[in-house]
Each structure stands twice: as structure tokens, then as C-alpha cells.
Amino acid sequence: MKSKIKTKRDIQILSSLKLIIQKSRREGNMLRVFRTLLFLIATISLLVTSLSCHRTPIEPEKIKANLIYEDALCTEAYLRLKLAYIDFPANVDLYVDKNKVNSFRTFSEDTVIMVENLLPKKSYTSYVRIYPAGGGEIVSNEVSFTTMDTTSNNFTWQIFEFGNFGPSALFDVAIINENDIWAVGEIYVADTSSTGYTMYNAVHWDGNKWELKQILYKNGFWPIRAVYAFNSNDIWFSGYMRYYNGRFFELSIPDILIGWGIEKIWGTSSNDIYAVGDYGNIAHWDGKRWTKIESGTGNHLYGIWGSFNKKTNKYEIMVVGHNLPYSNTLLGLENNLSQQIKKNGLPAGLLSIWFSAGRKYYIVGEGIYYSNWPIKEWKELKGVTRVFITSIHGNDINDIMVVGDLGDMLHFNGVTWNKIYFGEQYIFYEVKMKDNLVVAVGYKFGSPLNQKAFIIVGKRFM
């Protein structure tokens, strides 16, 4: 360790040393010179070390282990352990209600801890004991949390069927409230017209009855595959993105919306709308213009969902799709750009996505798959259903619905998946939830000239 001596005291010591040496030489007392040199060298060494190698000691009151509560589901909770001024690796013992429930080793100053096997709607306390590599024991602070309650599976169901001529089907549905519901698709009704039928592309519930609708476009009218509603006077229909604000009018159609079908719509407001569909196409409406978002894929895109992440303080928007039987697509959207998201564990067929950002993420298609945040890998939910799952939607992570082929509908109450079976003739395309209301749409197997569209409505009684 090198240091320059610059203080007045140092200069005085060196001057004294020089005088003593000169005097000793004159007197011929070399032994005295040697002893004096040793003393002065030791004194200077201590002084230099004190000035140049001083370290501020760690304040004993600084927290070395801080346990933070982050989130709780019905049967699991997430804690964050922050460590400081300890030697790694460190062994950690996790305690819940004074009982040790887990032990692990950490190499990080910031560790997320998942607490499992909890009971719904129950309060817990938790802390950890840390044993650093340097020895000793550190006990963290104690945190308290309460798990979420389960939701009821007690639904009553009604089935409504439409069409009596041709292959009728409904592809999407939007719930505004229990007295205002829109479903879209193609419904063929026999009549005395020149064609022998009339085609309708929407049906509306006003609280008392379903009314068939024809939503027209400048270039004619055709089946509608997607609908998204913010309120009764703010509804978006696919095709060339028909918009309803109490009366219908058509937005200008840019080239980016021509030549591909829109499969799904999602947005935060009528000034922030996303449309996804065929051949990897994604478009965004900002209230003034449409912008094409490059997806980097030619796969068809079938699902989009967004949710606000309180941890990052921004929206997460994700898109899924596939090109069976070869490849799948999972993208994140931000600032009109797309980026790949980790797909480890996912199959080729992906149709629908729903998540609560920063908490739990679900993708369905060839099975049901889930991931925690941050997304690193996807795990399959096994033993729940064997059919192809077409749609997922929920109110919260303890209140989720999925639907699929052959009449399968499943409700997740936060702990268990409850199967609701309607018969294999019902093929679901879409399901939506809002509070205690569930609406699912699709088609019912029949002859090619009489395939009916259906709407199944479930009302929950607590």
C-alpha cells in the first residue's frame, strides 16, 4: 500500500529524524541511531496506515435481512428477501406461523420466495433465518399476509340457439352488462327471399330478448369474427373495424387492414386499440390513425390480452398464434414494437391468452399452460381436460373460465378446476366473464344445412 505524506505533522517528523541522525553521527553513537530509526519508522508506518487505509465500519443498526410481502393467491404467496452485508452463499430457513416449511440456498441479495400449500382466506405470518457463509445467524423481520378466497362454482345456465339454414356459428362475444351483450359470427335464417335465406352477422341481448342484427359495411356485409366493447356506445367490430357509438359508422380503411382477417381485438380505450389476425398481422389505432406493427412471423395470430403490471407500472400486452403443426408464436407489444417472449414448454397450437400481469399467466390451445412472473418457462396443467381448448378469460386469478371442443367448459375457483359439460355436440369458440356473468359462444353439430349457432349464459348465485 503506497501513500504520499503531505501533512505538516509528517514533515515535522521527517525533519526531526534528519536532525537526530546527524547528531548521532557526530557523536558516533550508531546503536542509538539504529534504535531511533526503528522507533520513527514504526511511528510513520502507523500514521500512513491510519491516513490511507481507513475503512468506515459497517453500522450495526443497518438491516442485513429484509423480508417483504409482495402478493398472495389462494394457496400460495410471494415474498421478497433482500440481504445486505453478508457473505454468500447463504442458507435460508423459511418459517410460516413459527413452523419451518422450507430450506434453500441463495447466492443473491434479492430473492423471490414462493410460499406454497397455504389455505384460502387465511392470515399468516412469516420470517426467515439466514446462515451466511461467514458464519452466524441473522433473523429477518416478520411479515403478515392473507390469502385470497375461492369463488363460487354455483352457476345456472341457459342455452340459446340460432339459425336454421346453413352452417351458422358465433365466434366472439362482448359483455357490457347483464342487459347489454353482443355476439358476432354468421347466422343463416330461412325465409322467402330469392336466396332462400338471410344471413345475420351479430346478435344483441337487451335484457329481455336476443335480436339478430345485420352490421353493414361500404363494400357489403359478411361474417364478423371479433367484437370488443368498452361501454354501450363504444363497441368495435372486426371486418374493416366497424365502430359503434350509438350509431354505426365506418373508419377509413388503410392498406394495412386490407388483405387479412382480424381474429381478435383488445384495447385500453377507443384511442388505444389493437387488432391481430392472419399471416402475423398486427395493427394499432391511436385515435387518429392505424399503424402496422411488425410481428416477425407469418403465423396466424388468434389471441391478444393486456393487463396492467403494478410491479413495473405499465401495461403488458401479449399475442399468441400458430401455424399448425409446425410452430407457435408468443409476442409482447410495447410502443408499437413486438418482441419474442420465452416459449419454453409451450406446444405448437396456441389459441388464446389471459393473465393478471405480474402474477399469473395462462395460454390455451393444445392444453392449458401457465407461468408465474417473471416468465421463464411454461408448465402444463395436466389431468384437467383432454380436448383442444379454444378460449380463456377471467375476472381474477381465482375466477377463470376456459372452453373448448366437445362441450367442455372449466371454471377455476382459485384452488380447483370444476368441469361443466354441455355435450359433445357443442363446439366452443369464445368465452367471456364479467362479475357473476359468463357468456360462451360457438356452434352446435348438425347437418351441413342446419348447423346452429349457440350462446350459453351462466349466472352465478353466491
For residue 393, list its beta bridge partners: 401
Q: Under CATH, to which class is 65-146 assigned?
A: mainly beta
Alpha-carbon distance of 453 to 433, in angstroms, equals: 19
**Grid coordinates belonging to 298:** 407469418
Q: pLDDT at position 242, please?
A: 86
Q: pLDDT at position 60, please?
A: 44
Q: pLDDT at position 30, please?
A: 53
Nearest to 67 by CA among 81, 77, 83, 78: 81
Q: pLDDT at position 204, please?
A: 98
Sign of CA dihedral 286, 292, 295, 299: positive
**Distance in Å from the first CA to the final CA of the chain:** 75
Alpha-carbon distance of 337 to 345, in angstroms, equals: 25
Alpha-carbon distance of 265 to 276, in angstroms, equals: 7
Q: pLDDT at position 56, please?
A: 42
For residue 219, how many C-alpha atoms fall within 13 Å in the half-sphere facing its CB? Answer: 10
Q: pLDDT at position 4, please?
A: 45
What is the tens place of the pLDDT at every residue in 42-53?
555 544 444 444
Q: pLDDT at position 51, please?
A: 43
What is the tens place of the pLDDT at every residue in 306-322?
999 998 999 999 999 99
Q: In one letter, which amino acid is 177?
A: N
Q: pLDDT at position 53, please?
A: 43
Residues (pLDDT < 50) of the chain are 1-6, 8, 17, 20, 27, 33, 46-60
**Grid coordinates belonging to 433:** 366473464
- 155-460 folds as Methylamine Dehydrogenase; Chain H (2.130.10)
Against a cut of 0.75, is the pTM above it?
A: yes
